[in-house]
Amino acid sequence: MTTIDALAATLRTVLGDERVISDRQELRTYECDGLAHYKVIPALVVFPHTAAECATAVKACVEAGVPFVARGSGTGLSGGALPRADGVLIVTSQMRQIVEIAPQDERAVVQPGVINLHVTRAASPRGYYYAPDPSSQQICSIGGNVAENSGGAHCLKYGFTTNHVTGVEIVTPDGDLVHLGGRAPDAPGYDLLGAFVGSEGTLGIATEVTVRLVRLPESVRTLLAAFPSTDAAGAATSAIIGAGVVPAAIEMMDALAIEAAEAAVHCDYPQGAGAVLIVELDGPAAEVEAQFVHVERFCRDNGAFEIRIAADDAERALFWKGRKSAFAAVGRISPDYIVQDGVIPRTALPEVLHRIGEIAAERGVRVANVFHAGDGNLHPLVLFDDSVDGEAERAEEVSGAILDLCISHGGSITGEHGVGMDKAKYMPRMYSDDDLDTMQLVRCAFDPRGLSNPGKVFPTPRLCGEVPGRHKGAHPLQEAGLAEVF
């Protein structure tokens, strides 16, 4: 009996036959996450329903020395939930109970498989909502959001997942259940919660999450402004931010992205626009009204040739429809595409967009730009046709060049999608060996065996030296001459 067979037998006794998948055809369903060009068929897939079951599954993996990967809804765009062929995929999507909505504490307690938007749906009758709103919010899970520190259009004003999670119950990579943070703020000790959120499944698996609920705003005003160019739209953005306005969101799409959105969802954006901006303000009515006038003026002063103001929620939804469907919409104008997620200082936007244009032209590749203009998070969509020889390689080149461009402007290789499998190779371009080594000290503290989602985030694993509880000494592999410490 192989290690995996034995592990499957153990897990079946704990979880029951129907919650352990080992059939190769069925396993195929889980071979990739939202980044579909990486595919690996896992050795086993399991579905815990409780934290205790999840802990048991992890413990069984640890005892068998088998790596494990957590997966929520599988919508991630960096291959963070890409399975291991020699490992177990622990899927939390059946842990989808909303444990408590506590508006009086501005908190909700949910299981990791709960869908992001469902938290808001449950809280909104009480006048509250969950602020982080990734574009996939109708299907992505809170557990996945915690792993990736997901953002969204409205994080410009409200912050990211990490600013909205106050507590987690986790299964550590040892298989222990530990609480970090809680319902009250500022738990004593190291902010391990802060380190855990965004650790992409490498520090353990969240089994319960306490999130902040935010009071629904009294007023929301949204405008759609059409500009002749991205430069003009960028100048309007600078004027808005420079005036001290903090909009809930400022989103930009260039001509190619607009073309795709029109083809896909008929969002009816103004004709002939080189760029559109969606600007949304929310908050107390009097505050929003006063600032909205300025925002409108900044757009006009910077060359907006058409400004539409959403009259109601339906019209607002239409403005957003084009933006939120942009990634998928690109499929209408190109058979294949790569989505990037680089970040630049917002003021570098015009320069970087021009350079992206040049890079694309040099390589004969089309790039559509959709981005969070307020915080400089770009989502260049690099278009290609995989059936044409060499196009995929050229697209990959352009994609890498764009990330280099972001780094050279003091930015980041990922603003919200995570590093995962996809961008691990770019980490050394952004951080020194010492920086990465230091991050991995945390990894070694949590997961000295390196079994929790190995191969993600870091291009080169660090040997952790000693497993806690043992005395200092050379790593067994090192002693045996099988590995070097680096």
Contact set for another protein, span 449-468 (CB under 8 A): 457, 464, 468
* Using rule CB under 8 A, residue 179 touches another protein: yes
* Using rule CB under 8 A, residue 104 touches another protein: yes
Distance of alpha carbon 207 from alpha carbon 58, whole angstroms: 12
Task: Report, in Å, the least distance between residue 265 CB and another protein.
Answer: 26
Task: Report, in Å, the least distance between residue 400 CB and another protein.
Answer: 15
CB neighbourhood size of 224 (10 A): 28
Nearer to another protein, 185 or 390 (CB): 185
Task: Report, in Å, the least distance between residue 349 CB and another protein.
Answer: 10
Q: Are 200 and 161 in contact (CB under 8 A)?
A: no
Residue 390 is given by DSSP the state T
Q: Are 30 and 74 in contact (CB under 8 A)?
A: yes
Please, which of residues 75-94 interact with another protein by CB under 8 A? none
Nearer to another protein, 46 or 171 (CB): 171
Nearer to another protein, 48 or 415 (CB): 415
Work out which of 16, 272, 335, 410 binds another protein, going by CB under 8 A: 410
Nearer to another protein, 387 or 432 (CB): 432
Task: Report, in Å, the least distance between residue 41 CB and another protein.
Answer: 27
Task: Report, in Å, the least distance between residue 3 CB and another protein.
Answer: 27
* Using rule CB under 8 A, residue 148 touches another protein: yes
Could you give the residue ranges of the DSSP H alpha helices within 45-202? 51-64, 116-123, 142-148, 155-158, 192-196
CB neighbourhood size of 294 (10 A): 15
Distance of alpha carbon 393 from alpha carbon 388, whole angstroms: 10
Nearer to another protein, 97 or 412 (CB): 412
* Using rule CB under 8 A, residue 58 touches another protein: no
Please, which of residues 419-448 interact with another protein by CB under 8 A? 419, 423, 427, 430-432, 434-439, 441-446
* Using rule CB under 8 A, residue 377 touches another protein: yes
Task: Report, in Å, the least distance between residue 155 CB and another protein.
Answer: 7
Task: Report, in Å, the least distance between residue 462 CB and another protein.
Answer: 10
Long-range pairs of 105-110 with CB within 8 A, sequence gap ≥ 24: 105/183, 106/212, 106/213, 106/214, 106/215, 107/166, 107/183, 107/210, 107/211, 107/212, 107/213, 108/210, 108/211, 108/213, 109/183, 109/208, 109/209, 109/210, 109/211, 110/142, 110/208, 110/209, 110/211
CA distances from 218 to 152, 200, 313 (A): 21, 35, 13
Collapsed DSSP state (helix, strand, coil) of residue 387: coil
* Using rule CB under 8 A, residue 152 touches another protein: no
Maximum distance among all Cα pairs of the chain, rounded to whole angstroms: 73
Q: How far apart are the first and last CA of the chain?
A: 36
CA distances from 212 to 110, 137, 158, 382 (A): 11, 16, 11, 36
Could you give the residue ranges of the DSSP H alpha helices within 93-186? 116-123, 142-148, 155-158
* Using rule CB under 8 A, residue 288 touches another protein: yes
Task: Report, in Å, the least distance between residue 123 CB and another protein.
Answer: 13
Distance of alpha carbon 471 from alpha carbon 467, whole angstroms: 8
Listed ranges 20-28, 99-107, 113-121, 357-365: which one lies at the site for another protein (CB under 8 A): 99-107
Please, which of residues 180-239 interact with another protein by CB under 8 A? 180, 182-195, 197-199, 215-218, 238
Nearer to another protein, 391 or 416 (CB): 416
Task: Report, in Å, the least distance between residue 75 CB and another protein.
Answer: 15
Radius of gyration of the chain (CA): 23
Please, which of residues 154-173 interact with another protein by CB under 8 A? 155, 159-160, 162-163, 172
Please, which of residues 317-356 interact with another protein by CB under 8 A? 343-347
Residue 251's Cβ-side half-sphere holds a number of Cα atoms within 13 Å equal to 26
Task: Report, in Å, the least distance between residue 53 CB and another protein.
Answer: 21
Listed ranges 56-64, 90-98, 278-286, 328-336: which one lies at the site for another protein (CB under 8 A): 278-286
| The two three-digit tokens of residue 420, written as one number | 């995962």
Partners of residue 377 on adjacent β-strands: 343, 372
Distance of alpha carbon 129 from alpha carbon 216, whole angstroms: 6
Nearer to another protein, 321 or 462 (CB): 462
Binding-site string for another protein from residue 106 to residue 135, where x marks contact by CB under 8 A and - marks none: xx-------------------x--------
* Using rule CB under 8 A, residue 371 touches another protein: no
Please, which of residues 25-44 interact with another protein by CB under 8 A? none
